[in-house]
Amino acid sequence: MPQRDSLIYASLIAGEYACVLNQPDFQEAVDRTLKISQHEALELQGVSLPWEFRRKVHIYIAAPDFKSADLTQIEHVVSCLEYHNFTPRRPVIENGEITSQSSSKDRSTAAAADVRLLQECQIMLAILIFDDPGTYIEMGLALQRGMPVIVFTPNRITDNLLTYELPTLVSSDLDEVISELFKQTAKIHGK
């Protein structure tokens, strides 16, 4: 195989590596990539997204990020985003958790801070680990702004028509979610 073709396959495989989270999926992606003909490989369009640019893209994490919730899945997603050098923004962590004992002033301050944080972000990643009205409201605000909204629903808990039809992507597959984040970030970057 000519060196140029080998480099094309190497870059395709490197791209697959950046999009998967476990070894069996990566091996499957490599096998699938190597089945692409040399002619087709030359014509493929990819996502070019510099490492340093990813840090500049702030991703609003709309999720029930509460102390009382099981945060395992949220923490895993945030860890994956940080691994790929994205900047996840967590409103509950950054602006504080509001409880039924919070004052009206604290509630108002936190709501305004969450809206400001949303305005600082370029993409929303909604993580639906259970039905959370706050997450749905944040999704609506982001959609109203024209922001890409990607929904990760690991437990496949929603069947709401608008939740499925309006976001950029709804998926229970984290690899697919991360891949879509790369695509949306590349659009922001102008590539």
Over the stretch 63-84, which tens digit does the pLDDT of each residue have?
988 888 888 999 999 999 999 9
126 by DSSP, 3-state: which? strand
User: Could you tell me if 13 and 101 lie in one domain?
Assistant: no
CA distance 58 to 89: 6
Q: Could you tell me if 169 and 114 lie in one domain?
A: yes
Check whether residue 12 and residue 102 sit in a common domain.
Answer: no
Q: Quick one: 85 and 179 in the same domain?
A: yes
Q: How far apart are CA 163 and CA 176, in angstroms?
A: 17
What type of residue is 14?
A
Contact predicate 38/3, CB 8 Å? no
Model pTM? 0.76
Which pLDDT score is estimated for 191? 53
Nearest to 188 by CA among 91, 20, 48, 82: 48
Provide the pLDDT for residue 65.
Answer: 84
pLDDT at 147: 95
Q: Which domain holds residue 21?
A: 3-43
Q: In terms of domains, do 78 and 159 share one? A: yes
Residues 57 and 105 in one domain: yes
Place of tokens 């495989």: 13
With a cut of 70, which residues of the chain have pLDDT below it? 1, 45-48, 158-161, 164-165, 191
Query: How many other CB atoms sit within 10 Å of the CB of residue 133?
Result: 8
pLDDT the model gives residue 121: 96
**CATH code of 174's domain:** 3.40.50.450
DSSP state of 129: S
Number of domains within the chain:
2
Do 118 and 71 belong together in one domain?
Answer: yes
Question: What Cα–Cα distance (Å) separates residue 35 from each residue in 21, 41, 43, 67, 167?
Answer: 21, 10, 14, 47, 32
Q: Within this chain, do residues 56 and 137 fall inside the same structural domain, yes or no?
A: yes
Task: Take residue 84 and report the two structure tokens written for it.
Answer: 């790929």
Is the same domain home to 108 and 22? no
